[in-house]
Chain A
């Protein structure tokens, strides 16, 4: 089955700096890569996703890059703000034709943005 590794497990940045979280996956059939943000005590929420036919996607201060050859994808947050502090999870899912989307999650990165 799919295996997703995520690094680092914790990340501390100063407000205004950039943060980068990296994930690798094992199953070459995976073609959907979402990122979820989970604030303390709250449910995970999708913040951005990318499909395998795209190399990069941006949404304001957040961007995701995908390298299918190397089987890794990364989350980039620019101009970090205190409200970016949370746990971030990457995930991967194979082509789900005929089945529900089976996400395999990374172990999470706790991002702390300090003033």
Chain B
């Protein structure tokens, strides 16, 4: 383990509040990704970033926002507009835009009540 970290491991929030999930990597990877994992649905791509100050929407970006101000950091904000935010969130990174293999962080389990 190590290389890509997410904090906290568990996060609890009240409905209507925005919450930011942290993702940091020290692998010097250019590309970073956020996925959402729900039971029986596999992993779905929320946002991805190829380089600093650049990011694109994935398949389920509505209700989420990201920033990429530093190469090693790619925080995800779950906004109050996300209708069903309770899920397991995974961050990943890959070497550069031409690299296929993605390395995953340990994940953050978000519960919104």
Contact = CB atoms under 8 A, between A and B. Distances in A.
Please indicate whether A and B come from the same complex rather than being unrelated chains: yes
Interface of A: 1, 6, 9, 32, 34, 42-46, 49, 89, 91, 93, 96-108
B93 to A, nearest CB: 10
Contact of B97 (A1, A98, A106): A98
Given A43-B106, A49-B100, A100 B94 contact: yes
Interface residues of B, number: 28
A45 B97 contact: no
A1 B31 CA distance: 21
B106 A42 contact: yes
A105 B35 CA distance: 10
Interface in B31-66: 31, 33, 35, 40-45, 48-50, 56, 58-59
A103 B102 contact: yes
A86 B98 CA distance: 29
Contacts of B97: 96, 98-101
B59 A1 contact: yes
A104 B105 CA distance: 18
Nearest to B39: A108
B21 to A, nearest CB: 14
A50 to B, nearest CB: 11
